[in-house]
Structure 1
Amino acid sequence: MATGCLHKCFPLHLPPLLEIKEVIETAMKPQYKELSVEVCDCPDLTQMPWDMACGGLGGDTATFHFGGVPYLLPVPDKSKVYDMQEIINITGVKNPFVIGPGAASREQVGINSELIANLRVGEVPVNKSRASKIEAGNCKLEMYPSTKTGPIADLFVSEGTPGPVLKIHAKQRLGK
């Protein structure tokens, strides 16, 4: 497993949510017959249909990209196994909530598969992550109890607290 990973941290500009709303609305409006973009309170994401490990997306945040396509092609590098909990400790976020896509660990699933990360690590861990794999020609979705990933992942980390979010409703795409 990759431990003591080399990493770089970059501070990113975080524009106000209203500014992001206006940019998204302006860019999407010509592409949809119906469009609404609004800033609202985040619903409780622990409830259906979301079933997330935390109730919100707020608090301190960070994004992570680790591993990469060179570890997947031309043949997956089976030695590239990362532990999300170890990597996320770099942020200093207390009890971090982690969501995002990646490769599941072959050690856990047995074959190349997709990871849908949805977990809280820290004092009271909750893991609702899933792995998707092809089995007998069909897609199989199963719970993924591990914090290990395969050779690539893109993760969003937050404290999982309530706060404002963007609600986007788009219907009937007009563009190509």
Structure 2
Amino acid sequence: MANISKTEKFQLHVPNLEELCQVLESGLNKNFSDVKVSVADCPDLTQEPFRFPVKGICGKPRITDVGGVPYLIPLVQLDKLMPLVLTEAEGRPAVNGSYFSSINPVDGKCLQEKYSDRFHDCDFGLLANLYACEGKPGKVIKVRACRRTGEDSLVSCMRKTMEEHYGEKTMALGGTFVIQKGKAKIHIMPREFSTCPLNTSKDVDNWLRHFEVSAPLIFQTVMVSRDPGLDLRVEHTHGFSHHGEGGHYYTDTTPNTVEYLGYFLPAELLYRIDRPTETHNVGRD
């Protein structure tokens, strides 16, 4: 990414994990028929179905919001994933386990590929919402939610619950969840950026390609209870599968049968990098 002009740092509210479990379970019960939220040991994320390059999501958890949608909309600024990266350390190279999805030019369907099969770096452009940690095992928030009865997605319900309960205190969660049963709505951007200005959310929606994809699906998510004035994307979720489907998550499309299992941790700090000087709220769903 060219010219990162500014990094802003924000101290987040970090509640007690037991307290947060009670808050989230209460909120999720309004949106799902079967809910259990508890403090648990993070499973070994190098194992199935995750296959992450690290064992856990614990150790100095941070949230980073880089760039933003205004660098893409109304027209892309080219000077400005589904990331699973173990960063470089002494005696160890970086490991990029990321995936990316595009539109298959042959049949117009979703084409998911491993980033390392095509590229040999850890770059991205325009925007990213990232959860970073030391990749250690530890205690996390375990969420099981089945059979959606409300209108909100799992992520939106959790975020709105935190916003309502914690009010002016800004807190954020990062982590991973699996749709074990059911299907989900996703989008993938076309291979070519739009040459016509995308001035409304409807313009953006018409430009994107939408798909219904099937479980099991593994997602990475970042959610912030409220924007403290940093022009944040308050929730953003991407996911992949081991059967070739992946993209930007909206919600499940099979509310009567869907089953979610997730592991999350509140972040301690938020870093806002390269905040757009001119902004808008188009295309942030």
Partner of 1:174: 149
Q: Secondary structure at the match of 2:29?
A: helix
Distance 1:34 1:5, change over 3 A: same
> Residue in 2 aligned with 1:119?
85
Task: Give, in whole Å, the separation in 2 of the partners of 1:76 and 1:53.
Answer: 32
How many angstroms apart in 2 are the aligned matches of 1:69 and 1:78? Answer: 13
Q: Alignment length, in residue pairs?
A: 142
Q: 1:78 is matched by which residue type in structure 2?
A: L
User: How far, CA to CA, are the matches of 1:148 and 1:5 in structure 2?
Assistant: 17
CA RMSD of aligned residues (A): 1.3
For 2:143, give the aligned amino acid.
I
Distance in 2, Cα, partners of 1:164 & 1:58: 8
CA distance in 1, matches of 2:98, 2:132: 14
Q: How far off its partner does 1:30 sit?
A: 2.5
For structure 2, the residue ranges without an aligned partner over 5 or more in a row are 152-285
Cα distance in 1 between the residues matched to 2:147 and 2:9: 40
Q: Does 1:78 align with 2:53?
A: no
Amino acid across the alignment from 1:150: G
TM-score (norm 1): 0.76
Which amino acid in structure 1 is aligned with residue 129 of structure 2? Answer: D
Which structure carries more relative contact order (alpha carbon 8 Å, separation 6+)? 1
- The alpha-carbon deviation at position 3 of structure 1 amounts to 4.2
Would you say 1:142 and 2:117 are equivalent positions?
Answer: no
Structure 1 runs of 4+ off > 3 angstroms? none
Partners of 2:52 and 2:73 in 1: CA distance? 32
Structure 1 counterpart of 2:267? none
CA apart distance, 1:138: 1.4
Pick from 115, 139, 160 the counterpart of residue 135 of structure 2.
160
Tell me which amino acid in the other structure corresponds to 2:147.
Q
SS at 2:82 equivalent: strand
What displacement does 1:150 show?
1.1
Query: 1: distance between equivalents of 2:137 and 2:110?
Result: 34
Q: Are 1:15 and 2:15 matched, yes or no? A: yes
